[in-house]
Structure 1
Amino acid sequence: MSGKLTVQDIQGFKGRRKITMLTAYDYPMAHAIESAGIDMILVGDSVANVVLGLESTKDMTMDQMIYHACAVRRGAPHTFVIGDMPFEAYQKDAARSAGNAARFVHEAGCDAVKLEWFDCALEAAESVIRSGIPVMGHVGLTPQTADKLGGFKVQGKDASAARALIRQALDFEKVGCFAVLLECVPDRVARLVTETLSVPTIGIGAGPSCDGQVLVTHDMLGLFERYKPRFVKAYARMNQDMIKAFEVFKDEVRDGKFPADEHIFKIKEEEFKNIRRAEDDGGA
């Protein structure tokens, strides 16, 4: 990749070409994503579910998110990286939003942060943007407050809910968000939002009309199989491939096939004899 994209580059893609985004939480995944030329990486709080085995993204702390964001930046130095603000970073106290967003930028080298919609979302987003940090808004299914939405369900399915969702997206744009993520939204509602906003929309479970698409990388690689959202397309079955590899390793170790000669370090015969002589003399 010749150079890192800017906010202006990303906004300029709207109406011109689709934007791509994937999640990453560590160095090797980030490096692979950058090597593939993906536009943006989201250091998602979904790490709670797909890496740490936690039930809720609300369990992630700022320190944990910074730890993962630092690893991602090392793996993808030339990619636009977005830090996903965890629940504790802004929803407990919106006044702390700018300070926590600054940690993503100054400690981890992120280019922007993402905020989910909640009661004080606009206050939080405006505070971060005033501090000079770009913000991506997130509406529709917001996992950090899914308990208030009736669980992990499609949002905006009736006219009233759809209008509210569109207003939220517009409000995020009005306070200066450079893009808005739409999660689990009916396709025609997502198209309305995309047509209404002047900034790009990034969809996950929101149909093909969004300006870009994002998936959780562990889902699309088939690495996480505890549950699979309907909107996920698995481009690989890596969990099954790993299990097969682990089984072969187990069998080869038990059968004495691994390590083979090509995996072994050698010592010169004369040096080994010197070791044995020293042992025989009682002076090893």
Structure 2
Amino acid sequence: MSARARAPALDADADAEACAELLRRGDPDRLRTALAAGDKAPRLLGLYAFNLEVARIASAAREPILAQMRLQWWRDALERLHAGGAAAGHPALAPLAEAMAAARLDRALFDRYLDARALDPEGPSFAEEGALHAYLADTGGALMRLATRALLDGADADALAVADEAAAHMGWASAAANLTRALPALYARGAEPLPLDAPADRAAMAEGRTPPALRPALAALARAGLGRLARARALRRRVPRAAAPAFLAGWEAERILRAAARPDYDMFSGHQASEFRRRGSLALRALTGLW
């Protein structure tokens, strides 16, 4: 085989490795789950690197207008990929282009994801429970649906539909858990992520205490997440095993949500677990395929 013929594969490998390095520094948990996908791991590496870059725009940009400009850059890049254009400008784009070509990833899901992320520079803040639930569906839910589809090219329509439904529920639960874990940082930057009757007690949070008024909203979110998790698992036997690495991204959701549902939950430390326990839990789930 000529050097010219080998170049695209080498470029793809270099892009996947660059994505892995981004995740190694910024989202090591998703890196571990992506690697469980074997020869399709680059698809998840690209998708998760894209997610990492977009999710941290709000904290990296000094002004909301700069954040919106960066989001627009990603919108334009994805539009170019869907039109068959060049995968240039970020290492996530080449693996994403390959996944789009092989698995026909739905552009509408990317649009929903980016529309939801456009709320991040202003918080995100939600006055109503329905708005928060929609945000979780369009961030974590959409991301897991895309990850699942990236692994199931060639699956029949029925299997895809079941996997998509399960991913929507599991992704929602995972996003709820991630939001719960991020609450101290979100409130510290001025967000109001949980719908409350009155603004959260930031003085208490500045002292490392969970305001009592926050706990009912946290418990309601946790119960909703656990319900979604149960609905996803009810479909597990009908989801192709090839999709398991995508679902592994939600491996810690149950532990975090069960902790948050307790009336004495401490959002500063109540969800923590040892690294040994965390890695052991993920390894067991990866081995058994039971998410």
Higher alpha-carbon Rg:
1
Select the structure with the greater relative contact order (CA < 8 A; seq sep ≥ 6).
2
Q: Same fold (TM over 0.5)?
A: no
TM-score, normalised relative to structure 1: 0.30
More strand, by proportion: 1
**TM-score with structure 2 length normalisation?**
0.30
